[in-house]
Amino acid sequence: KAGVTQTPRYLIKTRGQQVTLSCSPISGHRSVSWYQQTPGQGLQFLFEYFSETQRNKGNFPGRFSGRQFSNSRSEMNVSTLELGDSALYLCASSFGDRGGNEQFFGPGTRLTVL
């Protein structure tokens, strides 16, 4: 069974630009969650999508948004990039039908904002 895939793996942008990251979950999984990992703040929850609906949202500004498609693939978008948005962005997929579901992570997208 294929794992979670994320594209692109690496991205370099400049301040003020916007970026879109993509995540393809494990087949059969309906939940996709996004996390930001930085050396200073650690792993922080961005949002979760389940069956094309945002089910949960972390404490991030509105510049961070996402969506999920009918095939469960998800994208997240960051507009008006800031230097502090440089991070590893991880997505995780699960069946999503209960809180104890195992979440499986992709390899991440490393975003560098110059």
Partner 1 sequence: AQSVTQLGSHVSVSEGALVLLRCNYSSSVPPYLFWYVQYPNQGLQLLLKYTSAATLVKGINGFEAEFKKSETSFHLTKPSAHMSDAAEYFCAVTSDTGGENKLTFGTGTQLKVEL
- Contact pattern for partner 1 over residues 25 through 64, marking x by CB under 8 A: ------x-x-x------xx-x--x-x----xx-x------
Q: Which candidate, 108, 85, 102, 112, places its Cα nearest to that of 29?
A: 102
Residues 19, 76, 90, 113: which binds partner 1 (CB under 8 A)?
Answer: 90
Q: Is 106 in the site for partner 1 (CB under 8 A)?
A: yes
Show Cβ contacts of residue 97 under 8 Å, excluding neighbours closer than 6 positions: 30
Closest contact distance (angstroms) between CB of 16 and partner 1 is: 27
User: What type of residue sits at position 31?
Assistant: S
Judged by CB under 8 A, the residue of 2, 53, 59, 102 near partner 1 is: 102
At closest approach, how far in Å is the CB of 94 from partner 1? Answer: 6
Question: Residues of 92-107 as b/e, b for ≥16 C-beta within 10 angstroms?
Answer: bbbebeeeeeebeebe
The Cα 111–Cα 88 span in angstroms is 6
Looking at beta carbons only, is 62 or 100 nearer to partner 1? 100
- In angstroms, rounded to a whole number, what is the distance separating the alpha carbons of residues 88 and 109? 6
Residues that bind partner 1 (CB under 8 A): 4, 6, 31, 33, 35, 42-43, 45, 48, 50, 55-56, 58, 90, 92, 94, 96-108, 110
